[in-house]
Amino acid sequence: MRNRQHVNVHSICFMEFSGEMPRLEEGKKVELEIGCADAQFLFERAERDPSRIYIGLEIREPLVDAVNKKAKALNLPVQAVFVHAGLHLSKLLPEQSVAQCFLNFPDPCFKRRHRDRRMINEELLEQLHPLMEKDGEVLMQSDVFDVALDAMDTFERCDELYENMAGPWSFWKGENPYGVRSWREMNCEENDMPIWRMRYLPR
């Protein structure tokens, strides 16, 4: 099946939520990836600890279907949800239900003139904040410096909601602490490309 690389995030077809709501289970921790694509990161997390629930949000419907098929075939607790996260995130999950949120390599074809299409913006971060557990964590990573800087600017402007673990306006100097890699992360590392990371705690 042809899989378009980009969608118009302003398309009217995303205005109404038409995906399936995630299914949570009492007492099970939730990890969330916004913009999960093939959800490689979540599948690897799920293999390591299948006692949690792994939810991937994705705006490209064929990818959502493929992830859900794979999860069923592998019997892993990964669920993909077809959604424009910026419009509907706050309706998808209960308050304080997310232990970890991953923003892995969003908007790789970043152009300043398309700034209004960015996945990480203040509206997204404001919706995310109440969904995070009090001791939860958000990881953001990108191989595009402008994208990373733009995301940092957005987080730092929301500093009443999030605390930068490396100190204000600083990138995380260490590795990705989660022990698994997204598809794009794996490609960047294999090609010796730099990756900028940030870790934030909800206040």
Q: Residues 164, 182, 198, 202: which binds ligand SAM (CB under 6 A)?
A: 182
Residues within window 43-82 making contact with ligand SAM, judged by CB under 6 A: 57-60
How far apart CA 76 and CA 70 sit, in angstroms, is: 8
Minimum CB distance to ligand SAM, residue 26 (Å): 27
Site membership for ligand SAM, residue 184 (CB under 6 A)? yes
Residues within window 141-160 making contact with ligand SAM, judged by CB under 6 A: none
Residues in contact with 113: Cβ distance below 8 Å, sequence separation at least 6, in sequence order: none
Site membership for ligand SAM, residue 106 (CB under 6 A)? yes
Q: Residues 36, 98, 148, 151: which binds ligand SAM (CB under 6 A)?
A: 36
Q: Which stretch binds ligand SAM (CB under 6 A): 46-54, 84-92, 149-157, 159-167?
A: 84-92
How far apart CA 24 and CA 186 sit, in angstroms, is: 29
Site membership for ligand SAM, residue 86 (CB under 6 A)? yes
Site membership for ligand SAM, residue 93 (CB under 6 A)? no
Residues in contact with 152: Cβ distance below 8 Å, sequence separation at least 6, in sequence order: 169, 171, 198
Minimum CB distance to ligand SAM, residue 4 (Å): 9
Q: Which stretch binds ligand SAM (CB under 6 A): 20-28, 101-109, 126-134, 153-161?
A: 101-109
CA distances from 191 to 107, 109, 146, 194 (A): 19, 18, 19, 9
Q: Tokens representing 102?
A: 């991953």
Listing DSSP states for 165-187 in one string gives TT-TT----S--TTS---HHHHH
Is 116 strand, coil or helix?
A: helix
Residues that bind ligand SAM (CB under 6 A): 9, 35-37, 57-60, 84-86, 104-106, 108, 119, 182-185
